[in-house]
Amino acid sequence: MTRIVILGGGPGGYEAALVAASLGATVTVIDSDGIGGACVLTDCVPSKTLIATSETMTNFAMAPALGVRPHGDPSAEVGSWELTGLPHLTPPDVVTVDPEQVNERVRALARAQSADIERRLERERVEVVHGTGRLVGPHAVETSDGETFVGGIVLVATGTSPREISGCEPDGERILTWRHLYDLKEIPEHLVVVGSGVTGAEFASAYRALGAEVTLVSSRERVLPSEDPDAARLIEDVFVRRGIEVLNRSRAAGARRIGDGVVVELTDGRTVTGSHALMAVGSVPRTKGLGLTEVGVRLGSGGHVVVDRMSRTSVPGVYAAGDCTGVLPLASVAAMQGRIAMWHALGEAVTPLRLGTVSSNIFTEPEIATVGVTQRMKDTGAIAAEVTTVPLMRNPRAKMMGIADGFVKLFCRPGSGCVLGGVIVAPRASELILSISLAVENGLTVDQIARTLSIYPSLSGSITEAARVLRPRDLFASSTDVPR
Ligand SMILES: Cc1cc2nc3c(=O)[nH]c(=O)nc-3n(C[C@H](O)[C@H](O)[C@H](O)COP(=O)(O)OP(=O)(O)OC[C@H]3O[C@@H](n4cnc5c(N)ncnc54)[C@H](O)[C@@H]3O)c2cc1C
């Protein structure tokens, strides 16, 4: 029977453990901070739980425009909202957020999910060891307690830690990483978010909806510089309309506490004062001190474990999965890399990791979901593609719901009409993208999507409309206002 030792109990590690156990291997998972990993305990699950509350606040903010007023205040301020959209959405003052309850809910939900996963592992007879491990040989892991676990196969899935920049070191009280947020007793009065990538944008969006003043310090031309440019422009526009101050081309040089607040110094000499600063400047792999290079595992220049598409490292029998490999920092990818490692190690038929069909989502309001070919690939000529963009403002359901911001963008191969990718900017874009992902994964054409009946009225009607636009022979390509 093959013995497998897994270092790290996040999605990369625990999904691998479940696969290996189901294939009859003897599996040990060693984890230092809690099963479920940073994904469940500090990063993905907590942030999306917080965002569930911030979305509720946004719904309250939208309510007057849809004719809903608080009891006893029939003349509540509607502001300058218009029925066709909500251009000046600001947090409502008729409801308030209880920060301690919100954060306790976040922590409790994360703890419960971690416990669920640990019980599941135990049910599948996976041995769970709480402790810090390091490789002391290609197939031997020693824990901080001095116990050694030997496995024919070792999987390294140790994840990442928030990156710190010199001069802006977090103190956990006023200068924070996202892992400190859920210990706060209050909603920051004025949150200065340093970093406008996915993490910075999600927290800027969420805390603004929760009532904080927010300043977003972005070193690039615009927020979300690596994302679809139309989506990034739209989100930046929404941020500004919602009262987020966006400082583009601004780089933080230092952050220091002053009294009950914090001052962020920019490299051009300007300063930004707030109550708290959130450093969201990326992550570094947790690969130091693991004994990896000592046993011959090759690390990349940034410290990531170098792996191939089968999750193999440079040492036979040593695999790596998840964020520590730097392949694509998503829970779904970590889990798939872990499963692939086990299928490969245990002799199952397995196809190498394919990143072209991975869908991802940014949980701002509205959300941005993407899959497949990107605008950049088309614009640089890397891929020949036709593209169309259908604004949600044309969508009847969006009008009914008061949604003005958003679009569906679809890419297809010229000639065959094969769907290559898409971008959806909409509330719950994360749910809507699946139909485009299915099309990309299964080689469906815009013609096939165009012939598929979508619900009338529905936001997904904009997906079939985009397909009709890309299908040149279609006579009904121009309008969504008529049910068909
Ligand atoms: C704020 C934020 C929000 C995110 N939201 C999403 C999202 O919505 N969707 C999504 O798909 N992804 C999201 N991600 C990314 C996602 O969290 C990661 O891709 C995922 O956690 C990677 O899983 P992993 O198993 O590689 O690592 P982790 O989840 O980090 O788990 C690694 C585990 O290894 C343990 N470990 C480390 N070193 C040792 C050691 N020496 N010995 C023993 N154990 C060790 C750690 O304690 C940890 O438990 C988000 C990330 C951030 C920062």
Q: Is any ligand 1 atom within 6 A of the Cβ of residue 124?
A: no
Supply the residue whose CA is at minimum distance from atom 48 of ligand 1: 37
Supply the residue whose CA is at minimum distance from atom 37 of ligand 1: 158
> Contact at 8 Å (CB) between 200 and 220?
no
How close is the Cα of 198 to the center of ligand 1, in Å?
15
Q: Is any ligand 1 atom within 6 A of the Cβ of residue 178?
A: yes
How close is the Cα of 37 to the center of ligand 1, in Å?
5
Statement: residue 139 has pLDDT above 70: yes
pLDDT-derived band at 481, boundaries 50, 70, 90: very low
Q: According to the model, what pLDDT value does residue 73 have? A: 57
Q: Stretch 374-398: mean pLDDT, rounded? A: 97
% of the chain exceeding 90 in pLDDT: 89
% of the chain exceeding 70 in pLDDT: 93
pLDDT-derived band at 471, boundaries 50, 70, 90: confident
Q: According to the model, what pLDDT value does residue 16 have? A: 98
Question: How far is it, in rounded angstroms, from Cα 413 to Cα 471?
Answer: 11
What b/e string do you get for 289-316 counting C-beta neighbours within 10 Å, with b at 16 or more?
Answer: ebbbeebebebeeeebbebeebbbbebe
Q: According to the model, what pLDDT value does residue 81 have? A: 38
Q: Which of 231, 197, 228, 222 is nearest to 373 (CA)?
A: 228
> Contact at 8 Å (CB) between 9 and 334?
no
| 318-331 pLDDT tens trace | 999 999 999 999 99
What is the edge-to-edge ordering of all strands in the sheet holding 386-391? 359-362, 367-372, 419-426, 407-412, 386-391
Q: What does DSSP assign to residue 477?
A: T
How close is the Cα of 478 to the center of ligand 1, in Å?
44
H/E stretch holding 122: helix 99-123
Q: According to the model, what pLDDT value does residue 88 have? A: 45
The model's pTM: 0.94
| 53-70 pLDDT tens trace | 999 999 888 888 888 877
Q: Stretch 396-403: mean pLDDT, rounded? A: 95
H/E stretch holding 345: helix 331-345
How close is the Cα of 41 to the center of ligand 1, in Å?
9
**Where is pLDDT greater, at 271 or 477?**
271
Q: According to the model, what pLDDT value does residue 283 have? A: 98
Beta carbons within 10 angstroms of residue 166's beta carbon: 7
Q: According to the model, what pLDDT value does residue 72 have? A: 63
Statement: residue 71 has pLDDT above 80: no
Q: According to the model, what pLDDT value does residue 62 have? A: 85
Helix (H, G, I), strand (E, B) or coil at 364: coil
pLDDT-derived band at 159, boundaries 50, 70, 90: very high
> Contact at 8 Å (CB) between 277 and 219?
no
Query: How high does pLDDT run on average in the chain?
Result: 93
Q: Is any ligand 1 atom within 6 A of the Cβ of residue 5?
A: no
Angle at 361 between CA 282 and CA 114, to 5 degrees: 75
Question: How far is it, in rounded angstroms, from Cα 475 to Cα 468?
Answer: 9
pLDDT-derived band at 93, boundaries 50, 70, 90: low
Q: According to the model, what pLDDT value does residue 61 have? A: 85
Q: According to the model, what pLDDT value does residue 353 have? A: 97
pLDDT-derived band at 86, boundaries 50, 70, 90: very low
Statement: residue 147 has pLDDT above 50: yes
Statement: residue 309 has pLDDT above 50: yes
Q: Is any ligand 1 atom within 6 A of the Cβ of residue 133?
A: yes
Question: How far is it, in rounded angstroms, from Cα 116 to Cα 111?
Answer: 9
Residue 257, C-beta contacts closer than 8 angstroms, at least 6 positions apart = 171, 173, 174, 175
Q: Is any ligand 1 atom within 6 A of the Cβ of residue 287?
A: no
How close is the Cα of 5 to the center of ligand 1, in Å?
18
How close is the Cα of 161 to the center of ligand 1, in Å?
8
Beta carbons within 10 angstroms of residue 246's beta carbon: 20
CA distances to 28, 39, 41, 363 from 55, in Å: 39, 21, 21, 10
Ligand 1 pocket: which of 14, 15, 29, 44 to mutate (most atoms within 8 A of CB): 44
Q: Stretch 255-282: mean pLDDT, rounded? A: 96
Q: According to the model, what pLDDT value does residue 303 have? A: 98
Q: According to the model, what pLDDT value does residue 347 have? A: 97
Q: What does DSSP assign to residue 183?
A: G
Beta carbons within 10 angstroms of residue 482's beta carbon: 8
